[in-house]
Structure 1
Amino acid sequence: MTPEALTPERILEATEEVLRRHGPAKATVVDVARVLGVSHGSVYRHFRTKAALREAVTERWLGRTEAALAKITADAGEPAPTKLEHWLTELFEAKRHKAGDDPELFATYTVLLGESSGVVERHLTELVGQVRQIIEQGSRDGVFTVGDPEAAAQAVFSATARFHDPGYAPDWRRPTIEAEFSAVSGLLMRGLRAP
């Protein structure tokens, strides 16, 4: 590969491949460079350290979920209660698919999440902010009665942690998990609605 063809995106794709194959403990920048057919110095020109590369790949992974949820948040045609249910369902399904469709990479990212607290904190802040926007819309439209949209958003996010926090991933395979999710989201929706 020529140096001109080497982009951060290609490096991140190769890093995912290496992480999937070797796991976070054994994956090296040299392995990533080998997959790309370049020297490890070429990788370091884009990502100054191994930690920066790992952080970028984690941010990319979390960003996919953020982008999908942002589309729901921005949908002006959907009423807030429907939007919030849709948002919570999409978050649950996205996390569940990541855990079930690619368990090796999901396990790797669970390790990387622990290393990238700044990335994780930004991700969580973004997600709670999206919930806040939906709750604010519902308050403006008179369908939600909420005194503090930020506190309500944090409460909704915390109450649904079992359905999106990677620590609960083993539970997501249980046959009753969808009914449990529906019960929790239904309770939250009733609690937010204006009397």
Structure 2
Amino acid sequence: MAATSEILTAERILEATEEVLRRHGPAKATVVDVARALGVSHGSVYRHFRTKAALREAVTKRWLDRTSDALSDIVAATDRDPESRLRDWLAALFEAKRRKAGGDPELFATYMVLTAENGEAVAEHVDDLTGQLTEIVRAGVESGTFTSADPAATARAVFQATGRFHDPGYAREWEQPGVEGEFTAVVDLVVRGLRA
């Protein structure tokens, strides 16, 4: 049990919630379990998150944001050519999703339930990812590397075209033999289509 002398923050609550979800699963995890793990009353948790649904949405958003945050350095590397950044971004997205699915299958299954409950958090995540892609495509257009009349529409198309390698619905396929070669073939095709 956590020391109650520590200041109770939203971040501490989210960390504890993730552990409770890992242990109990989404069907059995309660706010009381989270409070118990923190050594506080459930009312203290509710002061930070008004409802159980709000807590579950926040922990889902935190989980999804980890992927976006991991990719942001690639987007920010404006000293690198856009084609390399695009390839690296897609590869990093694929690897991040594979790591989530294979590294902690129980927690991944839990988050599959939570993301199904929290469509708004998922939509925001997809918007963030396609926004990152838009920046890379726009940089490619500005440098003359890519051609696109609408970088945002092109970014959405790239995201959809590569969905098999980042949409959790395909997670079972990500460890199949040959998947890396298939990924490379799709990325090569996408990049060839974008070249000016």
TM-score normalised by structure 2 residue count: 0.97
Q: Once the two structures are superposed, what CA deviation does each residue of 1:31-62 show, in whole Å capped at 9, x if it has no partner?
A: 11111111111111111100000000001011
| C-alpha distance in 2 between matches for 1:151 and 1:62 | 22
Of residues 39, 42, 50, the one that matches 1:40 is 42
| C-alpha distance in 1 between matches for 2:147 and 2:35 | 54
Partner of 2:147: 145
Partner of 2:161: 159
Give SS of 1:26's match. Answer: coil
* Alpha-carbon contact 1:139-1:146 (below 8 Å) kept: yes
Aligned residues between the structures: 194
Give SS of 2:147's match. Answer: coil
- Residue 3 of structure 1: how far off its partner (Å): 6.4
Unmatched 5+ residue regions in structure 2? none
Partner of 1:64: 66
Percent sequence identity is 64
Of residues 2, 5, 22, the one that matches 2:4 is 2
- Residue 145 of structure 1: how far off its partner (Å): 1.1
RMSD: 0.9
Partner of 2:177: 175
Partner of 1:30: 32
Of residues 176, 184, 193, the one that matches 1:191 is 193
| C-alpha distance in 2 between matches for 1:104 and 1:4 | 29
Partner of 2:76: 74
- Summarize the alignment of residues 111-126 of structure 1 with structure 2, pairs less than 5 Å apart: 111-126=113-128
Q: Which amino acid aligns with 2:91?
A: T
* Alpha-carbon contact 1:3-1:42 (below 8 Å) kept: no
| C-alpha distance in 1 between matches for 2:161 and 2:169 | 14
Q: Which amino acid aligns with 1:141?
A: S
Unmatched 5+ residue regions in structure 1? none
Give SS of 1:25's match. Answer: coil
* Alpha-carbon contact 2:4-2:38 (below 8 Å) kept: no
| C-alpha distance in 1 between matches for 2:12 and 2:160 | 35
TM-score normalised by structure 1 residue count: 0.97
- Residue 2 of structure 1: how far off its partner (Å): 2.9
| C-alpha distance in 1 between matches for 2:86 and 2:32 | 44
